[in-house]
Amino acid sequence: MNLTAEERHMLDGQRGPVLAKALDYLVQFGEAFGAERFVDVIYAHYPAEMSIYRGNVEDAVEYAGTGARVCIPTTSSTLACDLDQWDKLGCPRALYDLQAQVVDAHRRMGVLGTYTCTPQWLGFVPPKGSHIISVESSAIVYFNSVLGARTNRGGIFTRYSAVTGKYPLMGYLLDAGRRGTHLFKLHLTPDDLKHESDYSALGFHVGALVGSEVPVLDGLPRSTPTQLLALSAALATSGSVTLFHAPGNTAEADSVEQAFAGASPKATYTVTRKDLQAAYDKLTTVGAGETIDFVTLGCPHATLEQLRHVADWFAAQGKRVHADVRLWVCTNRMTRQAGQWEGIVPRIEAAGGFVVSDCCPVESHMRISTCHEHGLPTPQIRAMVTDSTKMARYVGDLIGCKTALRNRDDCLRAAVDGRA
Ligand code: F3S
């Protein structure tokens, strides 16, 4: 790679061994993928370093011990427990203690303790065309597609970029990596896309067909940020999409032609309501009317407005969560605080729900492997209803529960009735 004088100084150790080693990793990484130079990154969304992986904790603590500090605004992704309510939610003390070590390590490094998969809801909105580095697949797709910032899937290299402020110019940072590859013609009515769960089903269908390439959605009606995030999260669940284009909604292509930049689609598909229904059916293993014991909303982490909707729904119905059901509405800790201040969180709690921050069911003590390690019974959940294909897909395998995919209000109805 061609290095600037500043980068050469860093690599030579003139700014200390920590930066030299971090940049050396990035040079090796860039050279392996044919990058010619570095770019400056302006923001990082940092790995979760969850306590359900003991090795992650040891590594995070050891790295902070080297004196490494981030040099750009750096938010942090989801942990494995709610730092304020861990005991109330059934998390063992040992897991919380491990997680607290990571929090301390992050503070020493200057990483902001946002602990969320939706840093964009907290105002971390990098401008179009900026280079950033991020973990968390739903956020990555949203940053790239909806905001038009440029990031690859950061993985472990996020750490080295956050401390050096550099990333090799390659992959989705290059124009060539951002061209559409597959065309999806949406034959959907506004009724077909009324709920965020419909967007999630759409993303799940498209992601499964396109794998790791760049889908272009033709005919997506003007959508809200939360709908586009539901779509983003699902695209990265059934597939490993990093970027999509939907003219009229996303940042870079005003037309389908622009999205393909002169190339022809490798394949063209038509999407109808039937395809969305197939995603609902695939992720629903709970029988109609069967009893359930868990409902999850807030995957990805909810906005204040979404929390308000839940509180208003309970107020309008005048009902409470069924005695045999746990309702988790997941969000980040800052939004939870805002919801507390607004009186929204107390209203959800008064109806029997939990407003959970820092984690979510799939990133928690309820994973089967974690239960085994900490002597907890399994499965922790028998049957979950959720409005997120990502949650439904992962808890089936990781928690070992049955699932039902429903829209948000039907999820709330299930929480009250105790049935899907
Ligand atoms: Fe976030 Fe957990 Fe869903 S980390 S995207 S709420 S699976």
Question: From the alpha carbon of 117, which atom of ligand 1 is closest?
Answer: 1
The arithmetic mean of pLDDT across residues 145-157, rounded, is: 97
Q: For residue 301, is it within any domain?
A: yes
Q: For residue 287, is it within any domain?
A: no
For residues 130 and 20, membership in a common domain is answered with: yes
Here the tokens at position 342 are 């607004």
Q: For residue 412, is it within any domain?
A: yes
Give the confidence band of 49 by pLDDT, cuts at 50, 70, 90. confident
For residues 171 and 184, membership in a common domain is answered with: no
pLDDT at 51 over 80: no
Ligand 1 centroid – CA 360 distance (Å): 6
- Torsion angle (degrees, nearest 10) of CA 22, 28, 34, 38: 20
The arithmetic mean of pLDDT across residues 43-48, rounded, is: 94
Residue partners of 246: CB distance under 8 A and separation at least 6: 145, 216, 217, 218, 220, 223, 228
Bridge partners (DSSP) listed for residue 418:
none
Question: From the alpha carbon of 77, which atom of ligand 1 is closest?
Answer: 4
Q: Which residues have CB under 6 Å of ligand 1?
A: 78, 117, 138, 233, 299-301, 330, 360, 362-363, 390-391, 394
Q: For residue 131, is it within any domain?
A: yes
Q: Which of 55-59, 148-152, 191-195 has the weakest average pLDDT?
A: 55-59
For residues 57 and 169, membership in a common domain is answered with: yes
For residues 29 and 153, membership in a common domain is answered with: yes
Residue 217: give its domain's CATH number: 3.40.50
CB 61 within 8 A of CB 97: no
CB 280 within 8 A of CB 392: no
For residues 44 and 107, membership in a common domain is answered with: yes
Ligand 1 centroid – CA 31 distance (Å): 33
pLDDT at 52 over 90: no
Bridge partners (DSSP) listed for residue 74:
44
Q: For residue 288, is it within any domain?
A: no
For residues 171 and 187, membership in a common domain is answered with: no
Give the separation between CA 333 and CA 328, rounded to whole angstroms.
14
Instruction: Look up the domain containing 265 and give its range.
Output: 179-282
Measure Cα distances from 322 to 2, 24, 124, 227, 231 in Å.
62, 55, 37, 28, 30
pLDDT at 269 over 90: yes
pLDDT score of 81: 96
Give the confidence band of 48 by pLDDT, cuts at 50, 70, 90. confident
Look at residues 78, 53, 90, 92 and name the one whose alpha carbon lies nearest to residue 391. Answer: 78
- Determine how β-strand 182-186 pairs with β-strand 38-40: unpaired
Q: For residue 52, is it within any domain?
A: yes
Q: For residue 289, is it within any domain?
A: no
Ligand 1 centroid – CA 260 distance (Å): 31
DSSP 256-309: HHHHHTTPPPSEEEEE-HHHHHHHHHHT--SPTT-B--EEEEEEEEEPHHHHHH
Average pLDDT in the chain: 97
Q: What is the pTM of this model?
A: 0.97
Residue partners of 318: CB distance under 8 A and separation at least 6: none
For residues 227 and 200, membership in a common domain is answered with: yes
For residues 25 and 140, membership in a common domain is answered with: yes
Of 175, 192, 219, the last residue of a domain is 175
For residues 67 and 130, membership in a common domain is answered with: yes
Ligand 1 centroid – CA 235 distance (Å): 13
For residues 142 and 196, membership in a common domain is answered with: no
Domains identified in the chain, total number: 3
Query: Best mutation site among 367, 390, 398, 403 for ligand 1, i.e. most ligand atoms within 8 A of its Cβ?
Result: 390
Of 118, 145, 175, the last residue of a domain is 175
pLDDT score of 41: 98
Ligand 1 centroid – CA 338 distance (Å): 20
For residues 158 and 192, membership in a common domain is answered with: no
The arithmetic mean of pLDDT across residues 364-384, rounded, is: 96
pLDDT score of 334: 97
Query: Best mutation site among 362, 397, 405 for ligand 1, i.e. most ligand atoms within 8 A of its Cβ?
Result: 362
Residue 360: give its domain's CATH number: 3.30.499.10
Say which amino acid occupies 263: A
Q: For residue 203, is it within any domain?
A: yes
